C-alpha cells in the first residue's frame, strides 16, 4: 500500500477528530469519505486511530455496526475495520457485505451506536468509501437481542448479524408496502450489478409482485455499466433496451440501494423520467396520502426548478445544501410536518430522512395504481421550470482558484453551495465535486431561450481564463441535450 494513500486517509481521520473534540455525549455526526485510494492495507490503521480516539475522548459505550456493499475490496476493508475496532475494546456487530445502505442506516439508527458502512454508492469500480456515523445512545435491550440472534466466534467480541439485520429490514419494508399486496402490474428491476436485488426479491415475493430482474448478479467491477452503478446515466437505457421486456414500469437501483430512478416502457420504447419531474410526482402523491404534512426539502439546484410547482400544490418547499448529511438534517428539522426530500442525484428521502430505493419502488407502484404515469409526467414537465441536464466534466485544477476566477469574471457571482451566478429569473450553479475531480453546471429558468442563451454566455466567459473547461462544458451540453431527446420522457421540455 502506497504511503500517500495511508497519509491521505489518516489526514481525514484527524479532521474528524478535530470536529468531535468539543461535542458532548448527546452528539451525532455523519461523515462520507470516498477516494479512489481507500484500499485494503490502509483502513486498519484508520479504524485503529478512529476507535482509539473515540474511546479516549467521547464514547462511553464502545459499540460499532459494520456493513458493506458488493464492491471487490469491501470484504477485506470490513476485516481491517473489524480488527481495528476490536483492538480498541469495541464490541463489533458485523453485518457483512453484499448489503444495502438503507438496511445499515435503519438498523444502526435503532441501535444508537457508531457505524461504518463500506460503500462508494454509484461510483465506478476504482472507488471505495466509508460512510461513518458517530453516536453514543445505545439501546441496550435491542443490542442484546441482536447479539442473541447473531453468530459469535469464541474469543472475539464480534457478533456476525447479517441474517437477523436483513430480516428486520425486510419485515419493515414489507409492512410499508402491505397495501400493495397482489399488485399485478408488470415491472422490471434493474439492480445494476449492485447489492439490491436480493433485498428487492425478498420484499416482492412476500407481496406477490409480477416482476423480472435485469443486471441482478452482484459484480463489484460493474462490467455491464457505463461508469459504475449510477441510475441517472442515460446510457442505462441502451442496456435496458437489450432486455426486450414487456414490463411497463422499470425501476433502476444504484450499487448500494439508496438511489432510485424510474423509466417507462411506452409503446415498447423505454424512456427515463428525469429527477425534477419525478420529485414533483412523488411529492404530490405523498401529500395526498398525508395532507397534514406540508414540508418538502430539496437541495439547492432542484429547489429552483420545482419550488413553484410544489407551492401550487400547497407544499412548502424548503432548501438545503447538497449532500446527504444536509438533506437528512433538513428533513428531520421539519419533524412531523415532513413529507420527505429530494436530491437531483436521485436520492429520495422519506419523512424520517432515510433514502431507500426499494421503498421508492413501492411509492412508485402506489402512484401508478392511482394515475396514468405517462399523463401525469407529461403534465408536470409542462409546469416546472426549464432546466438543462446536469453537465459534469473532468477537472484537474484547483477548486479555490476556479471559484476565484468565476467571482472575478461574473461580478455578482458568490459562493453558495458552489458558485451561484445570478441573472434575473435564471438560476445557475457551478460546483466542484467533493469526491471526484469534476465540475458540474446546472442552469434553470422559466423560459428555455433564456437558459440556452445563458449557457452560451457562461461558456464564453469561462473561455477567458480556461478554454479547456469551457470547451468540455459545451461538448457535454450538446451531448446531453441530444441524449435527452433520445432517452427521456418526454424527450423535449418546454
**Residue 171, Ramachandran bin (φ over 0: left; ψ between -120 and 50: alpha; else beta):** alpha
Q: What is the pLDDT of residue 50?
A: 85
pTM higher than the cut 0.85: yes
**Residue that wins the pLDDT comparison between 193 and 19:** 193
Name the least confident of 18-22, 198-202, 223-227, 464-468: 18-22
Q: What is the pLDDT of residue 418?
A: 80
pLDDT digits (tens, 9 = 90+) for 3-15: 666 666 666 666 6
In the chain, what percentage of residues exceed pLDDT 70?
93
Contact 142, 93 (CB under 8 A): no
Q: What is the pLDDT of residue 233?
A: 92
Give kind and range of the element (H or E) at residue 16.
helix 3-20
Q: Buried b / exposed e across 58-90, counting CB within 10 Å, b at 16+?
A: bbebbbbbbbbbbbebbbbbbebbbbbbbebeb
Phi, psi for 415 (deg, rounded to 5): -80, 125
Q: What is the pLDDT of residue 155?
A: 75
**Distance between first and last Cα of the chain:** 52
Q: What is the mean pLDDT of the chain?
A: 90
Domains in the chain: ranges and CATH: 3-171 (3.40.120.10), 177-370 (3.40.120.10), 386-487 (3.30.310.50)
pLDDT digits (tens, 9 = 90+) for 299-338: 999 999 999 999 999 999 999 988 888 999 999 999 899 9
How many CB atoms are located within 10 Å of the residue 474 CB? 19
In the chain, what percentage of residues exceed pLDDT 90?
71
Distance CA 14, CA 48 (A): 12
pLDDT digits (tens, 9 = 90+) for 235-288: 999 999 999 899 999 999 999 999 999 999 999 999 999 999 999 999 999 999
481 by Cβ neighbours in 10 Å (0-12 / 13-18 / 19+) ranks as middle
pLDDT digits (tens, 9 = 90+) for 370-407: 999 999 999 999 999 999 999 999 998 888 888 888 88
Query: What string of DSSP letters covers 339-399?
Result: EEEE-TTSBEE-TTS-B-HHHHHHHHHHHHTTS-HHHHHHHHHHHSPEEPPPEEEE--S-H
pLDDT digits (tens, 9 = 90+) for 105-151: 999 999 999 999 999 888 888 888 889 899 999 999 999 999 999 99
Contact 270, 251 (CB under 8 A): no
Q: What is the pLDDT of residue 398?
A: 85
225 by Cβ neighbours in 10 Å (0-12 / 13-18 / 19+) ranks as buried
Segment 173-189 mean pLDDT: 96
Polymer length of the chain: 494
Distance CA 313, CA 280 (A): 9
Contact 337, 314 (CB under 8 A): no
Q: What is the pLDDT of residue 34?
A: 67
Q: What is the pLDDT of residue 56?
A: 83
Distance CA 399, CA 221 (A): 30
Q: Which residues pair with 151 in a beta bridge?
A: 160
pLDDT digits (tens, 9 = 90+) for 35-47: 666 778 778 888 8
Band of the pLDDT at 68, cuts 50, 70, 90?
very high
Q: Is the pLDDT confidence value at 20 over 60? A: no
How many CB atoms are located within 10 Å of the residue 312 CB? 11
451-459: long-range contacts at Cβ-Cβ below 8 A with a sequence spacing of 24 or more? 451/386, 451/387, 451/388, 451/426, 454/423, 454/426, 454/428, 455/388, 458/421, 458/428, 458/430
Distance CA 458, CA 143 (A): 55
Distance CA 450, CA 426 (A): 7
Query: What string of DSSP letters covers 272-336?
Result: EPPHHHHHHHHHHHHHHH-TT--EEEEEHHHHHHHHHHHHHTT-EEEEE-SSHHHHHHHHHHTGG
Q: Is the pLDDT confidence value at 1 over 50? A: no
Band of the pLDDT at 25, cuts 50, 70, 90?
very low
Q: Is the pLDDT confidence value at 26 over 80? A: no
Which residues does 390 contact at the CB level (< 8 Å), separation at least 6? 301, 344, 440, 441, 442
**Residue 346, Ramachandran bin (φ over 0: left; ψ between -120 and 50: alpha; else beta):** left
Distance CA 34, CA 32 (A): 7
How many CB atoms are located within 10 Å of the residue 18 CB? 8
Q: Is the pLDDT confidence value at 92 over 50? A: yes
Amino acid at each position: 500500500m502506497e504511503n500517500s494513500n495511508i497519509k491521505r486517509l489518516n489526514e481525514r481521520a484527524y479532521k474528524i477528530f478535530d470536529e468531535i473534540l468539543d461535542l458532548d455525549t448527546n452528539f451525532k455526526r455523519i461523515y462520507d469519505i470516498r477516494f479512489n485510494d481507500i484500499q485494503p492495507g490502509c483502513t486498519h490503521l484508520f479504524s485503529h486511530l478512529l476507535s482509539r480516539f473515540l474511546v479516549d475522548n467521547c464514547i462511553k459505550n464502545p459499540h460499532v455496526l459494520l456493513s458493506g456493499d458488493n464492491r471487490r475490496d469491501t470484504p477485506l476493508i470490513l476485516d481491517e475495520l473489524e480488527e481495528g475496532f476490536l483492538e480498541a475494546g469495541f464490541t463489533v456487530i458485523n453485518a457483512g457485505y453484499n448489503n444495502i445502505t438503507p438496511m445499515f442506516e435503519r438498523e444502526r439508527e435503532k441501535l444508537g451506536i457508531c457505524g461504518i458502512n463500506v460503500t462508494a454508492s454509484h461510483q465506478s469500480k476504482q472507488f471505495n468509501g466509508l460512510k461513518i456515523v458517530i453516536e453514543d445512545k445505545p439501546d441496550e435491550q435491542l443490542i442484546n437481542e441482536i447479539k442473541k440472534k447473531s453468530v459469535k466466534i469464541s474469543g472475539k467480541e464480534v457478533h456476525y448479524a447479517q441474517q437477523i439485520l436483513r430480516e428486520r429490514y425486510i419485515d419493515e419494508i414489507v409492512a410499508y408496502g402491505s397495501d400493495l399486496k397482489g399488485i399485478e402490474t408488470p415491472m422490471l428491476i434493474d439492480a445494476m450489478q449492485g447489492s439490491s436485488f436480493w433485498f428487492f426479491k425478498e420484499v416482492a415475493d412476500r407481496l406477490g409482485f409480477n416482476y423480472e430482474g435485469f443486471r441482478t448478479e452482484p459484480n463489484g467491477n460493474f462490467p455491464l455499466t457505463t461508469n459504475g452503478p449510477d441510475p441517472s446515466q442515460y446510457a442505462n437505457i441502451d442496456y435496458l433496451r437489450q432486455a426486450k421486456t414487456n414490463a411497463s414500469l422499470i425501476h433502476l437501483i444504484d450499487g448500494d440501494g439508496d438511489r432510485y430512478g424510474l423509466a417507462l416502457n411506452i409503446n415498447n420504447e423505454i424512456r427515463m423520467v428525469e429527477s425534477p419531474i419525478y420529485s414533483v410526482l412523488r411529492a404530490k402523491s405523498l401529500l395526498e396520502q398525508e395532507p397534514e404534512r406540508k414540508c418538502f426539502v430539496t437541495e439547492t439546484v432542484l429547489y429552483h426548478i420545482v419550488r413553484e410547482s410544489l407551492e401550487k400544490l400547497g407544499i412548502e418547499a424548503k432548501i438545503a445544501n447538497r449532500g446527504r448529511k444536509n438533506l437528512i438534517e433538513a428533513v428531520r428539522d421539519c419533524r412531523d410536518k415532513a413529507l420527505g426530500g429530494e436530491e437531483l442525484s436521485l436520492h429520495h428521502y422519506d419523512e424520517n430522512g432515510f433514502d431507500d430505493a426499494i421503498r421508492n419502488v413501492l411509492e412508485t407502484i402506489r402512484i401508478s395504481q392511482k394515475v396514468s404515469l405517462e399523463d401525469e409526467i407529461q403534465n408536470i414537465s409542462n409546469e416546472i421550470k426549464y432546466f438543462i441536464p446536469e453537465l459534469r466534466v473532468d477537472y484537474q485544477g484547483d477548486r479555490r482558484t476556479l471559484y476565484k476566477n468565476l467571482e472575478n469574471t461574473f461580478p455578482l457571482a458568490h459562493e453558495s453551495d458552489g458558485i451561484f451566478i445570478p441573472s434575473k429569473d435564471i438560476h445557475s450553479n457551478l460546483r466542484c465535486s467533493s469526491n471526484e475531480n469534476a465540475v458540474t453546471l446546472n442552469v434553470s429558468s422559466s423560459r428555455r431561450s433564456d437558459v440556452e442563451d445563458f449557457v452560451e454566455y457562461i461558456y464564453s466567459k469561462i473561455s477567458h481564463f480556461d478554454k479547456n473547461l469551457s470547451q468540455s462544458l459545451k461538448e457535454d451540453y450538446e451531448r446531453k441535450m441530444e441524449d435527452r431527446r433520445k432517452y427521456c420522457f418526454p424527450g423535449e421540455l418546454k
